[in-house]
Amino acid sequence: MEIDIVNQKDNKVLNRNEVKFVCNYEGEATPKLTDVKSKLIALLNSKKDLIVIDSLQPHFGEAKALGYAKVYDSKEDLEYIETESVIAKNAQEEASEELGEEVSEDEENSEE
């Protein structure tokens, strides 16, 4: 999976950086939100708690998706501005990934 940043805009009023990006995933399944988020964190040198992926829309018939993310200056700004549903969507993806890791560790322990 490769992410290309198309547009970056500094929004000083809302204390955030708005990022539009294209995610290319040729030969792979559509990436999970957590995978895209971790890649963006590395590209933008941000913290996991300060980034929210607002949308990730796959293109029909192509192995690419258009996305929109917001990188906030502080956790307080993020919680004040973002809706509960967007925060929950991003948190839910992280929680499901953590649960998946715990299950795979339990399966490894039971096989021994």
Q: Compute the CA torsion angle 98, 101, 106, 109 (nearest 10 deg).
A: -140
Segment 66-105, tens digit of pLDDT: 999 999 999 999 999 998 888 888 887 666 656 555 544 4
Where are the strands (E) in the chain, listed by range?
2-11, 16-24, 51-58, 64-72
Share of the chain above pLDDT 90, in %: 52
Tokens of 92: 């839910």
pLDDT of residue 52: 93
pLDDT of residue 27: 86
Domain boundaries, the chain: 2-111
Do 44 and 17 meet the contact criterion of CB atoms below 8 Å apart? yes
Do 33 and 53 meet the contact criterion of CB atoms below 8 Å apart? yes
- On the question of pLDDT at 106 being above 50, the answer is no
pTM above 0.85, yes or no: no
CATH fold of 2-111, please?
Answer: Alpha-Beta Plaits (3.30.70)
pLDDT of residue 97: 59
Alpha-carbon distance of 44 to 24, in angstroms, equals 17
